[in-house]
Structure 1
C-alpha cells in the first residue's frame, strides 16, 4: 500500500522536472501579466517590470543603493547595465540538471530581467557592485543639482 502512494507521488513530482512547467508559473502570458496572482504595487519612484529577483532601492549619502537577492549566482551569471536612468539586472538560474532523478524540485531554471527606474541621474564612472552572501549590492553615486533648479521664462508684457 505504501508503495502505491510513493508511485503516485513520483508521478506528480515528474512534472516538476520540465522547464515548460516552470515557465508556466514564472513567465509572462500574452497580455504581459504574470501567471501568479500577487502582483507588486507600483512605487511612484520606481517602476519595476519583474518581481524577481527581490530588490531594495534606497538612498544613502549621495548614493543610490540596490540590494538584490541572487542566491547561487556568480558574476558570470549576471549582466548589469544602466542606460539613462534605467538599471537592468539580467541573468539565469541554472538549477535543473538533466542527469538527475529528482524526488523534489523546487528550484527552477529560469532567466530573469529586472528593470528599475532610478530617481536621479547616475555618475556612471563611479558605480560599484559586489556579491556578498547571495545578495548583489550596486552602489551608484548620483547628482541631483541639475534636477532641482529649472529656470522658467515669464513674459511680463501687458496685453492691453
Structure 2
C-alpha cells in the first residue's frame, strides 16, 4: 500500500471524495493553459532571428572582425561608429506575391540583427575599412601608430 496522497493542483487536501474521474472547472482550465502548444503553432516561430557569428582577431597592427552573414547584399548593412562603439546592423524585408486565376498568395519575410562592439582607444577611427565577399563581412580596425607593437630590438651593451 502506498503512502502517497494525490494532491489537487490548488493544494487542497480537504476534498477526499473519489470524484477524480470528473475534473472541476479550475483543473480543466489549468490543464488547457499549461499544456504545450501543438507543433503546428510553433514549427516556424522565430525562424531566422539569430545573431550572426563573429570572429575577432588581433594582430600587431590591427583588429580584424569577420562576421558570417550569407545571403545578404552589401547594401543591406549599416555600419556606424559612435563614441568608440561600432554597430553593425541589417534589416531585410521581403514580399512575394503570386497571382493565378483562382487565388493570390502573398508571403512576407523580415529579418534583422544588430551587433555592437566597444572599441579600444588604440583603434584609428579614421582608417576603418569594411568589405563584403562570399557571405563574410570583414572589417579592418587599424591601430593608431603609437599603439602598434614595435618589433623586438637588440640592445648593445657599451
The TM-score, its normalising length taken from structure 1, stands at: 0.51
Higher strand share: 2
Q: How many residues align?
A: 102
Shift of 1:139: 0.3
Distance in structure 1 (CA, Å) of the matches to 2:65 and 2:127: 15
Contact 1:80-1:90 at 8 Å conserved across structures: yes
The TM-score, its normalising length taken from structure 2, stands at: 0.52
Q: Secondary structure at the match of 1:73?
A: coil
Give the root-mean-square deviation of aligned CA atoms.
3.4
| Residues 15/97 of structure 1: CA separation in 2 closer, same or farther (3 Å cut) | farther
Counterparts in 2 of 1:3-152, with a 5 A limit? 12=40, 16=44, 21-22=45-46, 26=49, 52-94=51-93, 96-99=94-97, 109-143=110-144, 145=146
Which ranges in structure 1 are unaligned for 5 or more consecutive residues?
1-10, 27-50, 102-107, 147-160
Shift of 1:97: 4.1
Q: Which has the larger radius of gyration?
A: 2
Which ranges in structure 2 are unaligned for 5 or more consecutive residues?
1-38, 99-104, 148-158
| Residues 14/55 of structure 1: CA separation in 2 closer, same or farther (3 Å cut) | closer
Shift of 1:144: 7.5
